[in-house]
Structure 1
């Protein structure tokens, strides 16, 4: 549900996970419970489903649609539902976009196909987004991917043209580097001031919030929704001591999940945390990722304890 006020897409969104059962099928009951629980937290304005944290790259078309349906059934009357659209081919992306719209999504987050990391060209970037918008004329967010991912992050000139598309309402800015975030924030503010710039690098929330942000779409909010909302609010009111205290709790867990190699384990680390916290019986990813080993699990236990989420037993 999109609120009726002037800047409805501003705020903190939790990028949700996809729980699996022992046969690697979507655990629909726990997925619905996750949506319901997160939407109940003050300051969480919506969810991003079918994102990287939701293992969109490992879900087939029917599963992606079903995830949105469950979100709509669970929280459609009280939170914004953003669904990721990830496809290598633009017509396939159109089909996924239409599916998300018909299943009840309020907005789309369009991902750059992975192959573009090596072959990005402004014309194809714009063509892809225009085709998605044509298939599902609805609010659309851009994904400004990580600098560390090679050349996936859109160059300034390309980003400037993208934010001028009439459907674009926000940017999930995940450059994972504060200076790049600030440069993109300033660019969008100049070219398209109506577009929300959302600092979404889970390891850089304090610095990016301090530079200025219209919200955030982050998977760490699955574990620490109240703390991330409180961090955003503390920075907004200029309470730096409170912000630093929250940062001291949030940052070690963010580093343990996103900062350790291999970076591709971030999603399964989040899912393992859900298991370690007793929220889910299983915290594995689909093959080829699978489950974490004992060393990884212990490292996450320690990080959860430092964050105040788990009591360590001697």
Structure 2
């Protein structure tokens, strides 16, 4: 699918509507920064609040701007297996290269339920599937052994790992390598991407790269190439910004940060609201300190 940096893209809004012109400009900023994948309509893209007609147009524009240079991956996960299957099939029909499927939230399925959920998708959806494990949002942690079971399906190609548990990440990487599996493992947490890649992972699906695509790409390329001194320097320089982008619920801070760079309005859809004054100060200071602003 890809190795390196994929950006979990914000969705620009203006006066209550999707700002497609800003989205195009933002995609070009990302591609000029060297990102290796575009992730449309993930959590950072406020996917629960985007209408079906808007989804279709955002996907179309991303595919058009990418021009086949990097894969376009679309978030399709819901807490209904049937709805996720339908959404996934639809985006593949629209020309997407892969789907990012978060573990079902609120339902709190068992590990067996998670395995059957992804197994149903793998056997019924005709394209590459990336698992997204983010228990802080979903209320359920997909354990490594369940992920390894799912890796038996040829079209489950990777996992965005955002459990925050470094032992779990390392255990998964170790078993993927020793079992000779093709599963790719990307960090879902920017502040752990350096460490995941040092352990043998494949990169990051990033919030940070919305505002610092070139630096994020450079950091991940360096660590994957074994240039740990350069990678460490970039990681430590960007670390305060990584933290600032999560001072409030994602994507509230990063939407403000992208706005400061001139690529979108500082507009979100309810139930998300604009960044607080305290958050604004934290984001601006971190952007200046890191050299982004």
TM-score tier, shorter chain, comes to over 0.9
- 1:1-314 alignment to 2 at 5 Å? 8-23=1-16, 25-42=17-34, 44-116=35-107, 119-146=108-135, 148-149=136-137, 151-191=139-179, 193-258=181-246, 260=247, 262=248, 265-280=249-264, 282-310=265-293
How far does residue 21 in structure 1 lie from its aligned partner after superposition?
0.6
> What is the CA–CA distance in structure 2 between the aligned matches of 1:62 and 1:135, rounded to whole Å?
24
Contact 2:190 2:204 (C-alpha < 8 Å) held by counterparts: no
Contact conserved, 2:103 with 2:138, CA < 8 A, in 1? no
Deviation at 1:233, TM superposition (A): 2.4
Q: Give the direction of change, closer, same or farther, for the CA distance of 1:109–1:78 in structure 2 (3 Å limit).
A: same
CA deviation profile, 1:251-288 (whole Å, cap 9, x unmatched):
00011112x3x4xx2201101001122332x1221012
Do the aligned partners of 1:85 and 1:97 also contact (CA within 8 Å) in 2? yes
Q: Confirm or deny: 8 A CA contact 1:109 1:142 kept in the other structure.
A: yes
CA contact (8 A) 1:249 1:308 kept: no
Greater RCO (Cα-Cα under 8 Å, separation 6 or more): 2
- Matched residue of 2:170: which SS? helix
Per-residue CA deviation, residues 209-257 of structure 1 (Å, 9 max, x unaligned), is: 2222212211211111111121122223433332222122210001111
Cα separation, 1, equivalents of 2:179 and 2:137: 25
Kindly tell me the number of residue pairs found equivalent between the two proteins: 293
Counterparts of 1:297 and 1:99, CA distance in 2 = 38
Q: Secondary structure at the match of 2:36?
A: strand
Task: Give the deviation of 1:18 after TM superposition.
Answer: 0.2
Give TM-score scaled by structure 2 length. Answer: 0.92
SS of the aligned residue for 1:217 comes to: strand
Q: Which residue of 2 aligns with 1:4?
A: none
Question: SS where residue 110 of structure 1 aligns?
Answer: strand
CA distance in 1, matches of 2:66, 2:227: 32
Which structure 1 residue ranges, 5 or more long, are not aligned?
1-7
Structure 2: which 5+ runs fail to align?
none
What secondary structure, in the 3-state scheme, does the structure 2 residue paired with 1:53 have?
Answer: helix
Decide whether the 8 Å contact of 1:61 with 1:96 is kept in 2: no
Contact 1:87–1:93 (CA under 8 A) maintained in structure 2: yes
Contact in 2 for aligned 1:199/1:215 (Cα 8 Å)? yes
With normalisation by structure 1, the TM-score equals: 0.87
SS in 2 for 1:292: coil
